[in-house]
Amino acid sequence: NACDAAEPGQEIAPGVRLFADIRDPQIKESSGVVASRRYPEVFWTHNDGGGPKKQVLYAVGREGNTRASFPVIGVTLHDWEDLAIDSAGHLFIGDIGNNDSKRNALAVYEIEEPNPQAGAERISPKRVWNLKFPGAPFDCESLFVWKDYGYVISKVFDNAHAQIFRFPLKETNRPLTLELVATTKIESPVTGADISADGTLLGLVAKNGAYVFRIDGDVTRVS
């Protein structure tokens, strides 16, 4: 509600400032968002959910206008929840949503970061990681990448603590079991995450607010 009433440049919460509204009517529920490390002033985003109409990657400028859109082909995304990025020109698609914990496995796909000036070219994943749960299935909406690992965060309820799991970004055709690496003090559903390019800071967004941890490259330091 604060965002609806605010103008770009206004502070909507302590330390949180609105800098643009996404204006594209095709982006009805922006879910994952990540800043490009290759193209200045470009942010990548997508709609929440799955199905052909939602398998589109959008390049949005800092002013809130869509600069390009790229249909994702060759795979079926069941519940696209988040995006991640590395410094080698790769984007990672997090097909990790698991409403009501009905899925027994998740998937993360790697694509080459497209050029926002290239128009509406179709893009397809180059690699995939199929992920198994180490125990009971859980919901998940957050993905980030640091060095040789991808990380997902459990979206928990009833005052349970959010947990961070990882998987190796290695070439494999076999499912990988997620490994628990940290249990946070956040007792609220976590819906987004990102890490600074140098690995110093990790930001998590939960229903009750935003959190920033100084980890200095060690994700296990989140507590």
Average pLDDT, integer, range 128-145: 97
Quote the tokens at residue 182. 């940290």
Q: Are 218 and 151 in contact (CB under 8 A)?
A: no
d(CA 103, CA 171): 23
Band (4; pLDDT cuts 50, 70, 90)? low
- The pLDDT tens digits for 57-115 are 999 999 999 999 999 999 999 999 999 999 999 999 999 999 988 999 999 999 999 99
**pLDDT value for 2:** 47
Residues 6+ apart with CB under 8 A from 83: 32, 33, 34, 44, 45, 46, 91, 92, 93, 94, 143
The rounded distance, in Å, linking the Cα atoms of 76 and 72 is 9
Residue 177, phi then psi, degrees to nearest 5: -90, 130
Which conformational region is residue 20 in: left (phi greater than 0), alpha (psi within -120 to 50 degrees), or beta? beta
Q: What is the mean pLDDT of residues 53-59?
A: 93
Give the C-alpha separation, 100 to 144, whole Å.
Answer: 23
Give the separation between CA 46 and CA 12, rounded to whole angstroms: 23
Contact 209, 222 (CB under 8 A): no
Instruction: Please state the rounded mean pLDDT for residues 47-65.
Output: 92
**More confident call, 136 vs 51:** 136
110 φ, ψ to 5°?
-110, 130
Write the pLDDT tens digit of every residue in 138-190: 999 999 999 999 999 999 988 899 999 999 999 999 999 999 999 999 999 99
The more confidently predicted of residues 178 and 18 is 178
Q: Is 100 helix (H, G, I), strand (E, B) or coil?
A: helix
b/e string for 127-143 if b means 16 or more Cβ within 10 A?
eebebebeeeebbbbbb
Q: Cβ distance 23 to 67 under 8 Å?
A: no
